[in-house]
């Protein structure tokens, strides 16, 4: 089920909300948790029930293994903790690898050895990249004995809680379980409901009004047009840069808003990433929970910056290449990760040398680097990426007509650079009336545009990060 669908907004969300709090009101705490897990699995299965057994078996496997890892002091088994952890991680990555990367492996094998092995054409189970990473972090936390909860219902809720199930934020066991256990959170909190609806409306507006508008221009340039002028090429790349941010941050806002209705605070995932003045800062502001995972579970275990400068560079590069391939099974994703890894290395050297740039110039370089590398991230084929990039730097035919569309770009640029992001907006101490007015305005415009997209394109648009 999509957050930006009528069935979610007008049926699933309100029904789940009222039944959950009704059960809590009747002091049926376990039943309310069970209901939330059931609702979340229903939410997951709405799209394709075929993959329900995968998430259920993955959950059961990791729960048993996590428990075993935590109870190793009891010495029930002969395996070492480390070998159990490695087994768990390998099993999770095998599942992910089978569904996400097997065809990519076959394609490259065929290319390398001139064979003709058939592709499996597997459909990627929804959210597999997210729940796999989340559960790997749980296993590692269990290994480090940093977990405390071992009730399966709680664990199931941690994995499946519908606001974060499909596309994050990637949450830690330790930041979620205390919230599920807190008795205060079992009671309806009208302040949280008001703020939750406000954030949800901001997210819905970002997704259906802004991101889906830029999606039309990005698709036109990347997938339809055969030749692009320099202005069209920049419009194409910038459209995708805006689309990706507003789509994913919009999704995250909706997730945070929906979770807050249930008194659960999800971690923020975006903090004005396009305001960053260097690449390191960008990754502290973009998809923050993924960056946290990559740092805690890949970069630091590889040695981080503790084993000398050269190993640090290697670790940075490896972490970002893995980050690239996590996003998709394709060389363009790997190359995108490689470019970001290299940029981080260069930034590190730059800092070591004590060099500095004017802040506006640093922003300009950073933003354009990100914009250009998104071209690889978006393009379906190398040729598409090279076609768009080639046109972006072919200055032989420049004609600029200022029209409404260009003014929208300028307005959005200014908004991104100078305006507060949604995390900052919700911290503003609006009066109740202003908050009601803003929520209504954003919600009504979003619903109108949601209807408009359905009647013009005959379907609700998916979120980009559902594919990763």
Partner 1 sequence: MKNFTIIVISSLLALIFFEFFLKNSPFEYGISAAEYDKEIGMWHKKNFENYIVEACYKTKYSYNELGLPSNIDPYDPNKKDVIILGDSFIEARMVKNENIIHNSSAKEFNYKYNFMNYGLFGSGPTQQLVILQKKIDLNNTKYVIQFIELEGDLLDVDSKNLSSMARPKVFVEFDNLDKYTIIPPRERTLYDTVSDKLSYYQIYPFIKRTIYSLKNALLDKKVEPIEKHDILTKEIDLSKNWLYLKGAIYQIDKLIKSVNSEIKYKVIIRSKSKKNKAIIKKFLNKQNIKFIFLDEVAESMNIKLEGFSCDNHWNDKAHQDVAKIIKNTGFIL
Contacts to partner 1 by CB under 8 A? 209, 213, 216-217, 404-405, 407-408, 433, 436-438, 440-442, 444-445, 448-449, 451-456
Closer to partner 1 at the Cβ: 54 or 225?
A: 225
Q: Compute how many other C-beta atoms are within 10 angstroms of the C-beta atom of residue 232.
A: 18
Residue placing its CB nearer to partner 1 in the complex, 156 or 453: 453
Burial class (CB in 10 A: 0-12, 13-18, 19+), 46: middle
What is the distance between the alpha carbons of residues 40 and 13, in angstroms, rounded to a whole number?
A: 10
Give 172 or 207: the residue with its C-beta nearer to partner 1.
Answer: 207
Nearest to 168 by CA among 450, 405, 464: 464
Distance CA 242, CA 93 (A): 32
CB of 446 to partner 1, least distance (A): 9
Give 364 or 441: the residue with its C-beta nearer to partner 1: 441
**Chain centre to alpha carbon of residue 292:** 12
Q: Which residues are catalytic?
A: 327
Altogether, the residues listed in the chain come to a count of 468
DSSP single-letter state for residue 329: S
Q: Residue 140 or residue 218: which is nearer to partner 1 going by CB?
A: 218
CB of 422 to partner 1, least distance (A): 18
As measured in angstroms, the least distance from the Cβ of 410 to partner 1 is: 13
C-beta separation of 283 from 291 below 8 A: yes
Q: How far is the CB of 371 from partner 1 (least distance, A)?
A: 20
Q: What is the DSSP string of 164-211?
A: HHTT-----HHHHHHHHH-GGGGS--HHHHHHHHHHHHHHHHIIIIII
Q: Is 264 helix (H, G, I), strand (E, B) or coil?
A: coil
**Considering the complex, what minimum distance in angstroms separates the CB of residue 433 from partner 1?**
6
DSSP 95-119: HHHHHHHHHHHHHHHHHHHT--PPP
């Amino acid at each position: 089920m999509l957050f930006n669908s009528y069935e979610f907004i007008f049926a699933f969300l309100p029904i789940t909300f009222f039944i959950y709090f009704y059960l809590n009101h009747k002091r049926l705490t376990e039943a309310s948790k069970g209901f939330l897990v059931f609702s979340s699995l229903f939410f997951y299965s709405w799209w394709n029930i075929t993959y329900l057994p995968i998430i259920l078996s993955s959950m059961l496997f990791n729960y048993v293994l996590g428990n075993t890892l935590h109870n190793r002091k009891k010495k029930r088994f002969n395996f070492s903790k480390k070998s159990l952890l490695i087994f768990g991680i390998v099993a999770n990555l095998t599942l992910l690898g089978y569904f996400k990367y097997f065809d990519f492996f076959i394609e490259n094998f065929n290319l390398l050895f001139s064979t003709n092995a058939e592709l499996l054409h597997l459909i990627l189970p929804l959210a597999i990249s997210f729940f796999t990473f989340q559960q790997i972090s749980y296993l590692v936390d269990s290994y480090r004995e940093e977990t405390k909860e071992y009730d399966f219902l709680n664990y199931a809720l941690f994995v499946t809680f519908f606001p974060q199930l499909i596309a994050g934020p990637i949450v830690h066991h330790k930041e979620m379980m205390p919230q599920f256990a807190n008795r205060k959170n079992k009671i309806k909190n009208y302040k949280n409901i008001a703020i939750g609806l406000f954030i949800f409306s901001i997210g819905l507006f970002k997704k259906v009004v802004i991101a889906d508008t830029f999606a039309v221009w990005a698709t036109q340039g990347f997938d339809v047009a055969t030749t692009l002028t320099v202005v069209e090429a920049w419009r194409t790349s910038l459209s995708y840069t805006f689309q990706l941010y507003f789509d994913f941050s919009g999704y995250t806002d909706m997730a945070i808003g929906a979770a807050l209705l249930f008194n659960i605070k999800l971690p923020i995932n975006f903090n004005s990433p396009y305001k960053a003045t260097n690449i390191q800062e960008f990754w502290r502001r973009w998809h923050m929970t993924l960056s946290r995972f990559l740092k805690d579970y890949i970069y630091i275990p590889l040695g981080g910056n503790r084993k000398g400068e050269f190993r640090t560079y290697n670790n940075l590069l490896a972490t970002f290449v893995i980050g690239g391939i996590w996003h998709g099974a394709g060389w363009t994703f790997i190359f995108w990760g490689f470019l970001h890894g290299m940029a981080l290395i260069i930034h590190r050297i730059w800092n070591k040398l004590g060099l500095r740039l004017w802040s506006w110039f640093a922003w300009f370089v950073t933003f354009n680097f990100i914009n250009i590398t998104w071209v690889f991230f978006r393009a379906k084929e190398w040729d598409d990426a090279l076609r768009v990039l080639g046109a972006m730097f072919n200055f032989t035919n420049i004609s600029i007509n200022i029209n409404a569309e260009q003014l929208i770009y300028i307005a959005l640029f200014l908004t991104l650079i100078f305006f507060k992001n949604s995390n900052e907006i919700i911290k503003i101490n609006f009066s109740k009336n202003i908050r009601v007015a803003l929520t209504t305005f954003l919600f009504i415009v979003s619903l109108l545009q949601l209807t408009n997209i359905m009647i013009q394109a005959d379907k609700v648009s998916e979120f980009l990060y559902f594919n990763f």
